[in-house]
Structure 1
């Protein structure tokens, strides 16, 4: 949809289910950077790439070594690679164009989420968030892993497991830790079980700053907006919080070093908190104060103007949409199926959700025509008015235009080669071409003639192999009664002849001819034998004519 002609009064957010995608049992989804391809991880260990424009399957990535459910999928920045994490503790990197697996690494724990480094077009580093241990940086080339700190106490003791608590049965349980890269991947933002946001340099693993979250609840999700200006956290206290990023996007580490030097009079946790106040500031909080529902897979819209979150309640498929000011603008209600994953299209007002049954629903805007808002020269009339024609209305050059001078420089060359960059992707600094579409591989259709030849040859073969079409056969195996065997082979089964029986109309005409025989004329001559045979071949040989 062309953005300039959208009615601003309608709101640029989805409203109804436009279509649904079905292929096996899908569990998680992710758009590529342009929003032209949609990757979906399935329950059987495969990854399906949908062409989002045609809503057809463009590629299916299947690994014979993996048959476990997919837990997350992630595109590289250029769109040529897909990282897939599965429940069998594996991480697989795929080449999308060729459909071949580049590498596969098996970790010690199952990764609930895995994200490629966003700073390069061909990344070899990824961030993995395992089920019961600290987030780690994984080198996909060598398989080396580096665990990250998950609490302030890890500064002296080194990286360890997330906070653990004993259940009623005495078994120690671990709280999964959420983490994500910054926009260009220089920092890793970790949300721990103590209600803290930790800023860690992924190269040396050093903890640079800490931001406490009000309430101190477990952080379940942490997501950056597309432009890197806002950070979203989803806590166990059923509140979605939006933080404004105060750090520059491309020089975060240097600014953090300067901040640490400016707070040399403080030490330990106080110093990290002081630096954290210069990194993130609370912008808005979202919650349902009536139902107090838990949130599933919250995220930003492509332009960061909207915040969306799915209800984690079982048996309902509800999606809540807020504007960035904190107002609830829409609640989308789908089928009676639980929601397990959610994604907003990068550039269009489209939300894609995944149900527990493995069906992907596409939510789009229900556009209504309002020409008074679209066309600037359109006037909406409340009642009929008599139109008065102008004197020069149908002139080739109206008088009003003769008076006005043309502001266009006709001698200026028009550039029809250079294309303007989309402002949504103006931050692209990659020299390599992005993969936006996959080439179609059409399947060959079987011609109708080949189908007829195949069916007739099968029918003739069944006659020769003992599937009798006649009741009587001669001593040499030939059919004795032709009327009982209407199918005969001609030119190797390429043509099929059938013996025709005379119709009732022909029998009536022949009966009338017998009752009223015509007198032969003097000039008439008896038919030759060839003409008689011709009549017999036209279907009259099976009728015997007798005079009563």
Structure 2
């Protein structure tokens, strides 16, 4: 459809309604796009540092390097950003001001707000294990436990207490983590191709599964309704899983869901003729399609049907486009924003064909311009009365309407009024006198 560029973009995120698009840049700025008008609404630039915390985090100038992740709070009032130098900054969108800062010892490749609590963030350092981090006083860090050792089975449903595991070597390994829609679980994908399902209330491991043919999981994405999980790894296929979280209002349903597991293997998406790896993938807003970006320098988007897994279309960018690093689907509309390797944001949307014959059956669409020869008086400005007079032999329409009843009465009764015994309306005449 079009492209957006303001600096070199590295990551993007839509707000909940899709009206604003936050883009992190390689220069450390946060650009807020008004997506309806395609104009820049805000631009956040780091200012003076704030006091540090007591947990080892500091508050140096946070964003002198590239922004690696941005995320919105549920109410759309705050944006959190993570940078390659380990800095986290929370921005107030309306006031264009930073309200919180902290800096870790390692680069942060992902950050996200807790869907139910904007004062807690999920942080994924590149040289440490994922953790929950309190954005406020105390700055408490809680590491998410990961399954120790390998997982041979496709899926292992269990309950392993998280205490004691959150500080071991496995839990301190780098991983990619996201919240479930209800924030009752966290899905942690590590560099061994294992996804661990952690219960946030107890920090217990409730399930672990091995992604087929994968040794490294690059990204995991949830559908908008939170019922499907899409895994991008170094395998030749994209793997999807059905998410079946237990119902908190029904203990029996919760027990059944834990027995069957929170994640269940679903559809696999691939291109049989072009079996390359994938750089990023995501569900569309309605969940009907899966959009995947092929790894490499080519700008290609593959579109599959979610249920059948059939490849329906391959979208290719122009000659000046580069590879894709991230895909962000619009939360309400049928379009996606692809972050190009060259820092340009490419907007891909559905192509609509106008059918004017649906409004006017006599409408005829021409493929190319045609010379139309009009009649001599076709476009003359003539009053309706004059046009009717010309078309009816010089008689005005009003005169014909007035004469028509009189002519009809005369044809029905041809006798003159004098023969009816009444002189009618004429006065009597006197004969002239005669002379004798």
Aligned to 1:106: 103
Aligned to 2:29: 46
- Which ranges of structure 2 fall in alignment gaps of 5 or more residues? 48-60, 150-159, 366-436
Paired residues of 1:90 and 1:104 also in contact (CA < 8 A): yes
Where in structure 2 are the equivalents of 1:226-237 lying within 5 Å? 226-237=224-235
Write the deviation string for residues 173-221 of structure 1: whole angstroms up to 9, x where unpaired.
Answer: x974121101021110112233332211223321122233333532221
Where in structure 2 are the equivalents of 1:340-419 lying within 5 Å? 340-371=325-356
Q: Find the aligned partners of 2:289 and 2:191 in 1 and give their Cα distance.
A: 27
Query: Runs in 1 of length 4+ with deviation above 4 angstroms?
Result: 153-157, 160-164, 252-257, 377-382
Shift of 1:371: 4.7
Q: Find the aligned partners of 1:49 and 1:133 in 2 and give their Cα distance.
A: 30
Q: TM-score, normalised by structure 2?
A: 0.71
Aligned to 2:244: 246
For residues 276 and 107 of structure 1, do their structure 2 counterparts lie closer, same or farther at Cα, with a shift above 3 Å needed? Answer: farther
Shift of 1:356: 1.7
Q: Find the aligned partners of 1:297 and 1:162 in 2 and give their Cα distance.
A: 28
Q: Find the aligned partners of 2:314 and 2:44 in 1 and give their Cα distance.
A: 35
For residues 310 and 255 of structure 1, do their structure 2 counterparts lie closer, same or farther at Cα, with a shift above 3 Å needed? Answer: farther
Q: Find the aligned partners of 1:287 and 1:89 in 2 and give their Cα distance.
A: 35
Q: Determine whether 1:19 maps to 2:2.
A: yes
Aligned to 1:317: 299
Aligned to 1:126: 121
Q: Find the aligned partners of 2:100 and 2:32 in 1 and give their Cα distance.
A: 19
Out of 131, 141, 144, the residue aligned to residue 140 of structure 2 is 144
Instruction: Please identify which structure carries the higher helix content.
Output: 1
Paired residues of 2:146 and 2:205 also in contact (CA < 8 A): no
For residues 308 and 188 of structure 1, do their structure 2 counterparts lie closer, same or farther at Cα, with a shift above 3 Å needed? Answer: same
For residues 27 and 206 of structure 1, do their structure 2 counterparts lie closer, same or farther at Cα, with a shift above 3 Å needed? Answer: same
Shift of 1:59: 0.4
For residues 53 and 219 of structure 1, do their structure 2 counterparts lie closer, same or farther at Cα, with a shift above 3 Å needed? Answer: same
Aligned to 1:159: 166
Q: Find the aligned partners of 1:27 and 1:340 in 2 and give their Cα distance.
A: 8
Out of 306, 309, 322, the residue aligned to residue 337 of structure 1 is 322
Write the deviation string for residues 351-388 of structure 1: whole angstroms up to 9, x where unpaired.
Answer: 1111122111111222212356x66x959999xxxxxx
Paired residues of 2:129 and 2:173 also in contact (CA < 8 A): no
Q: Determine whether 1:70 maps to 2:74.
A: no
Q: CA RMSD in A?
A: 2.7
Alignment coverage as a number of residue pairs: 336
Shift of 1:233: 1.1
Shift of 1:290: 2.7
Write the deviation string for residues 390-423 of structure 1: whole angstroms up to 9, x where unpaired.
Answer: xxxxxxxxxxxxxxxxxxxxxxxxxxxxxxxxxx
Aligned to 2:311: 328
Q: TM-score, normalised by structure 1?
A: 0.57
Aligned to 1:204: 202
Where 1:124 maps in the other structure, the secondary structure is strand
Where 2:255 maps in the other structure, the secondary structure is helix
Aligned to 1:399: none
Paired residues of 1:150 and 1:162 also in contact (CA < 8 A): no
Q: Find the aligned partners of 1:95 and 1:140 in 2 and give their Cα distance.
A: 13
Q: Determine whether 1:306 maps to 2:289.
A: yes
Where in structure 2 are the equivalents of 1:160-239 lying within 5 Å? 160=167, 176-215=174-213, 217-239=215-237
Q: Find the aligned partners of 1:51 and 1:30 in 2 and give their Cα distance.
A: 12
Q: Find the aligned partners of 1:291 and 1:116 in 2 and give their Cα distance.
A: 37
Where 2:282 maps in the other structure, the secondary structure is strand
Instruction: Please identify which structure carries the higher strand content.
Output: 2
Q: Find the aligned partners of 2:250 and 2:109 in 1 and give their Cα distance.
A: 28
- Which ranges of structure 1 fall in alignment gaps of 5 or more residues? 1-17, 165-173, 261-274, 383-548
Paired residues of 2:271 and 2:311 also in contact (CA < 8 A): no
For residues 151 and 58 of structure 1, do their structure 2 counterparts lie closer, same or farther at Cα, with a shift above 3 Å needed? Answer: same
Out of 92, 99, 107, the residue aligned to residue 95 of structure 1 is 92
Shift of 1:293: 1.6
Where 1:258 maps in the other structure, the secondary structure is helix
Paired residues of 1:24 and 1:42 also in contact (CA < 8 A): yes
